[in-house]
Amino acid sequence: MDSKDGAVPRMRHLSIRTARQSDPTGGSAGEEEVDGGRGGAVKEGRRLEGERRGEEEPVSPGGRLFHQRGFDCYIVAIMGCAKPIDVGVVKSGLEKTLVRHPRFCSIPVVLDETGGTKSRWVPAKVVVDDHIVIPDLADPRRIATSPDQLVEDYIASLTCIPMDHSRPLWELHVLNFPTSDAAAVAVLRLHHSLGDGTSLMSLFLACTRKASDPDSLPTVPSHYSRRPPASKRLHAGAFALLLWLWAFLILAWNTLVDVVWFTATSIFLKDTPTPLMGSQGLENRPKRIVHRSVSLDDIKDVKNAMHCTINDVLVGVTSAGLSRYLSRRNEQNANDDDKKKKEKELPSNIRLRSTLLVNIRPSPGIHALAELMEGRDGGTKWGNLIGYIILPLDIFNHKDPLDYVRRGKAIADRKKNSLEAIFTYKSAELIIKCLGIKAAAKLCHRMLTHTTLAFSNMAGPVEEIEFFGHPLVYLAPSVYGHPQALTIHFQSYMNTMKMVLAVDDKVISDPHQLLDDLAESLRIIRDAIPDRP
């Protein structure tokens, strides 16, 4: 990638070399390459075949999918710390927690078995020092002059470097210098085959503790469905039966429509070309990850005023922010002759959709995962049991800013009454069995290239937490490796909401402007709330 001087790190402990990394023995990086691909893992797996077979687990279909060419996905979690990072303390903490999880002490390998080859998680020895990376940055002057840009460039350079598949697929990068909003930054990089985003976030939180009570696990908001008492349900009689039949018909109809739209998208139906759409092969290009904090209280104010959920508000804010951004790009691209006509006007028929990964199995709680890492496994389920949802976004310049939230709520409510995620998971499972993993990967790749962006939202701790004694100022997770030029992630933590963008900067060269548009859209929507006594 094209980077400023000093942006590409010289790493210690990272056994994958690129053309820009110097060889400590004096030779060039190209003279002796370490096999960081899956070929080394296959050889290692065949060497380990027959050893500790009782502890091996099959790789889930979703996990196998994330190892396919064009779909090699990684999750990164950027952590801002309130004090410099003590690497020795963090290492000791990892050895007592994360390393004890089965996925973090295993490697995915292909084993020769009766009936063909099978992908399995094989236990491997973990040397924590090999997974902690302390970069040797080339230009220390940049630490003093532009530390935020240096962190951003460093993380962008990580997206170009594959992991070494001969050891467990996780790394912790430590950037021990102050930035504008943290005393130090740690970057946890995980391969997506280790688990879905929600489960991995729960696992990470199980490694943390409350800052106010170092012996207690964090408190994360939970959503419970409220059901009427059994006596009221029994007395409802025929009216309840009619309601149930009506709800079933709506669910069946919505699922059928979603299945048709999903199938059409996988085959031929593409989003309207916009400045946010990527091109062929962008999954192999570096991604720039930027983030911005906004007030969670502002989002809650909108939620309470509109009688909706936080996710509904975020869908509305995303639609408003993207509409604002595309209006500006439309104005910039307009010719002088028709600039007045096109100024801040958007076509009314823009098809712009996002994809959401949905965990179709309830995520294990942080208490259950903490017990698992302590060696008390209570039957905790793990794996990539995920389906896709295609979420249309309202791209239009509404006169009333609250219309974005109203449309977001309508879209979200419609998707809640559908089994689209279960259908996509089961159909992918069937395709893998009948046609193989490559056919399933090609189908998913085609579906993603026909949509514009990926979208996700996660609830985080409501109080300050510590990562092995290091108080966290912010938490900013994201993902890369999929064939979309834009990923928008919302992560709550204490009284803030972190907006995180992962972009291909050859497509979206001004990601900070897009963050500005999202933040400004939230402010406009918040100010549009009618005054209440």
The phi-psi region of residue 41 (left if phi > 0; otherwise alpha if psi is between -120 and 50; otherwise beta) is: alpha
For 88-100, letters b (16+ CB in 10 Å) and e give eebbebbeebbbe
Annotated active-site positions, please?
Answer: 192
Long-range contacts of 439-444 (CB under 8 A, 24+ apart): 440/61, 440/65, 441/65, 441/68, 441/69, 441/70, 441/71, 443/266, 444/65, 444/71, 444/388
Q: Which tokens in the block code for residue 9?
A: 């790190």
> Any bridge partners for residue 110, and if so which?
119
How far apart are alpha carbons 173 and 187 in whole angstroms?
5
Query: Concatenated DSSP letters for 365-377?
Result: PHHHHHHHHTT--
Judge contact between 302 and 523, C-beta under 8 A. no
H-helix or E-strand spanning residue 65: helix 61-65
Residue 47, helix vs strand vs coil: helix
Q: Which tokens in the block code for residue 234?
A: 């029994």
> Any bridge partners for residue 470, and if so which?
467
For 404-434, letters b (16+ CB in 10 Å) and e give bbbbbbebbeebeebbbbebbbebbbebbee
> Any bridge partners for residue 391, and if so which?
354
Judge contact between 185 and 80, C-beta under 8 A. yes
> Any bridge partners for residue 420, and if so which?
none
How far apart are alpha carbons 234 and 176 in whole angstroms?
62
How far apart are alpha carbons 101 and 202 in whole angstroms?
13
Give the 3-state secondary structure of 412-454.
HHHHHCCCHHHHHHHHHHHHHHHHCHHHHHHHHHHHHHCCCEE
In the β-sheet with 486-493, what is the strand arrangement from edge to edge? 288-295, 496-503, 486-493, 453-458, 352-359, 386-393
Query: Concatenated DSSP letters for 330-384?
Result: HHHHS-STTHHHHTT---TT--EEEEEEEESSPPPPHHHHHHHHTT-------S-
How far apart are alpha carbons 84 and 175 in whole angstroms?
9
How far apart are alpha carbons 185 and 119 in whole angstroms?
35
